[in-house]
């Protein structure tokens, strides 16, 4: 859990965030699959060990029926296919799968209307033909 996670769920008071982060550090860490040499034998037992047994039906009906299959899960699959919308649940699942960092889901690119004209010009201008800001007038001397 990070400060940004707390902001996203509506904890706006900095003192409350600090207390929650301090308390979260004392919680036991999620163990990776097979950390003790014993891997769960089924997806239901793995989800149960994470306290996420409510997702068993979703995993099984989406074809994630073996531990080998879930070991390759990524953030986008959790959100879009398995409908795991709660950030804490996604982090718990990813943390249990391997010692890989949690990755944020990709952000949508900005809409065309949100781009500033100057940004477009700086991305598309060539050294031979410079347009004046947003007027579209050529600055070529030829």
Q: What is the pLDDT of residues 45-72, one digit of tens each?
A: 999 988 999 999 999 999 999 988 888 8
Identify whether 113 is part of a domain. Answer: no
Q: Are residues 13 and 58 both part of a single domain? A: no
Q: How confident is the model at residue 75, as a pLDDT?
A: 86
Q: Are residues 88 and 44 both part of a single domain? A: yes
User: Mean pLDDT across the stretch 73-80?
Assistant: 90
Q: Give the count of domains, the chain.
A: 2
CATH code at position 82 = 1.10.150.50
Alpha carbon 87 to its chain centroid, in Å, reads 8
User: Mean pLDDT across the stretch 71-96?
Assistant: 89
Q: How confident is the model at residue 44, as a pLDDT?
A: 94
Q: Are residues 41 and 84 both part of a single domain? A: yes
Identify whether 2 is part of a domain. Answer: yes
CA 16 to CA 9: how far, in whole Å?
Answer: 12
Q: How confident is the model at residue 84, as a pLDDT?
A: 94
Q: Are residues 17 and 50 both part of a single domain? A: no
Residue, of 45 and 104, whose pLDDT is higher:
45
Q: Are residues 22 and 42 both part of a single domain? A: no
**Residue 77 pLDDT class (50, 70, 90 cuts):** very high
Q: Are residues 40 and 102 both part of a single domain? A: yes
CA 105 to CA 15: how far, in whole Å?
Answer: 28
Q: Are residues 22 and 36 both part of a single domain? A: no
Q: Are residues 38 and 81 both part of a single domain? A: yes
Q: Which of 90, 94, 40 is nearest to 67 (CA)?
A: 40
pTM for the full predicted model: 0.53
Q: How confident is the model at residue 40, as a pLDDT?
A: 79
User: Mean pLDDT across the stretch 135-142?
Assistant: 52
Residue, of 110 and 22, whose pLDDT is higher:
22
Identify whether 131 is part of a domain. Answer: no
Q: Are residues 37 and 92 both part of a single domain? A: yes
Q: Are residues 64 and 76 both part of a single domain? A: yes
CA 71 to CA 66: how far, in whole Å?
Answer: 9
Residue 78 has pLDDT above 90, yes or no: yes
Q: Name the residue range of residue 25's domain.
A: 1-29
Output the average pLDDT for the chain: 75
Identify whether 22 is part of a domain. Answer: yes
Residue 60 token pair: 């099984």
| Residue ranges of E strands in the chain | none
């Amino acid at each position: 859990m990070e400060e940004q996670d707390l902001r996203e769920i509506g904890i706006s008071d900095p003192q409350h965030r600090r207390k929650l982060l301090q308390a979260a550090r004392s919680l036991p860490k999620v163990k990776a699959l097979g950390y003790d040499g014993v891997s769960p034998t089924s997806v239901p037992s793995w989800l149960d060990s994470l306290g996420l047994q409510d997702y068993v039906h979703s995993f099984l009906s989406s074809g994630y029926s073996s531990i080998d299959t879930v070991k390759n899960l990524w953030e986008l699959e959790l959100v879009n296919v398995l409908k795991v919308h709660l950030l804490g649940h996604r982090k718990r699942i990813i943390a249990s799968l391997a010692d890989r960092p949690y990755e944020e889901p990709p952000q949508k690119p900005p809409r065309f209307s949100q781009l500033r004209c100057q940004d477009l010009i700086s991305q598309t201008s060539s050294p031979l033909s410079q347009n004046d800001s947003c007027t579209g007038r050529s600055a070529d001397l030829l």
